[in-house]
Chains A and B, each alone.
Chain A
Amino acid sequence: DTEVTQTPKHLVMGMTNKKSLKCEQHMGHRAMYWYKQKAKKPPELMFVYSYEKLSINESVPSRFSPECPNSSLLNLHLHALQPEDSALYLCASSHGPYNDAEQYFGPGTRLTVT
Chain B
Amino acid sequence: DAKTTQPPSMDCAEGRAANLPCNHSTISGNEYVYWYRQIHSQGPQYIIHGLKNNETNEMASLIITEDRKSSTLILPHATLRDTAVYYCIVRVAGYGGSQGNLIFGKGTKLSVKP
Contact = CB atoms under 8 A, between A and B. Distances in A.
Nearest to A90: B43
Contact of A100 (B32, B45, B85): B32
A108 interface: yes
Interface in B75-114: 85, 87, 91-107
Contact of A43 (B92, B98, B100, B104): B104
Interface residues of A, number: 22
Contacts, number: 61
Instruction: Say whether chain B's binding surface is mostly helix, strand, loop, or mixed.
Output: loop
B91 A99 contact: yes
B96 A45 contact: no
Interface residues of B, number: 29
Interface in A51-105: 55-56, 90, 92, 97-100, 102-105
A42 B99 contact: no
A5 to B, nearest CB: 11
Contacts of A25: none
A97 B102 contact: no
State the 7 A-B residue pairs at the shortest beta-carbon distance, nearest first. A99-B100, A105-B43, A42-B104, A102-B46, A100-B93, A105-B44, A43-B104
Interface of B: 2, 32, 38, 41-46, 49, 85, 87, 91-107
16 contacts: A42-B2, A42-B85, A42-B104, A43-B102, A44-B104, A56-B98, A90-B44, A98-B93, A99-B93, A99-B99, A100-B49, A103-B46, A104-B46, A105-B43, A106-B43, A108-B43
